[in-house]
Amino acid sequence: EVQLVESGGGLVQPGGSLRLSCAASGFTFSSYWMSWVRQAPGKGLEWVANIKQDGSEKYYVDSVKGRFTISRDNAKNSLYLQMNSLRAEDTAVYYCARSGYYLTYYYMDVWGKGTTVTVSS
């Protein structure tokens, strides 16, 4: 079964750090771009970051540049998101998602259940 399982969320104070993990199974992890997407309480979906198959390219939404770092370990079939200098507005459910593709068309076809990050004092 193709599956993504996130972990590492929790309550953290403003300015603090947290590292999210996503364990992949059931597919060849190293063959896919991977993304993090978040959803603040009662709000819509926001793409946060993604990473190329070999980790050589990484991209971020402007609001997290310089604070968040995406990485992956293909030997462990795992995706990570290191979050530093956290702000209240980073409070959200964070989803790990696989970027499937057909020709040049990319889409997020496999999602984890999400992990909740709450930034509050």
44 versus 66: smaller Cβ distance to other proteins: 44
Stretch binding other proteins (CB under 8 A), from 9-17, 20-28, 32-40, 76-84:
32-40
**By the rule CB under 8 A, 106 interacts with other proteins:** yes
Measured CA to CA, the distance from residue 58 to residue 93 in angstroms comes to 21
Q: What is the DSSP string of 44-66?
A: -EEEEEEE-TTSS-EEE-GGGTT
9 versus 16: smaller Cβ distance to other proteins: 9
Determine which residue in the list 21, 27, 59, 78 makes contact with other proteins, applying CB under 8 A: 59
> What's the token pair of residue 30?
């190293």
Q: Give the other-Cβ count within 10 Å of 110's Cβ.
A: 17
Which residues, in sequence order, are bridge partners of residue 35?
50, 97
- Contact positions vs other proteins (CB under 8 A): 33, 35, 37, 44-47, 50, 57, 59, 61, 95, 100, 102, 105-109, 111-114
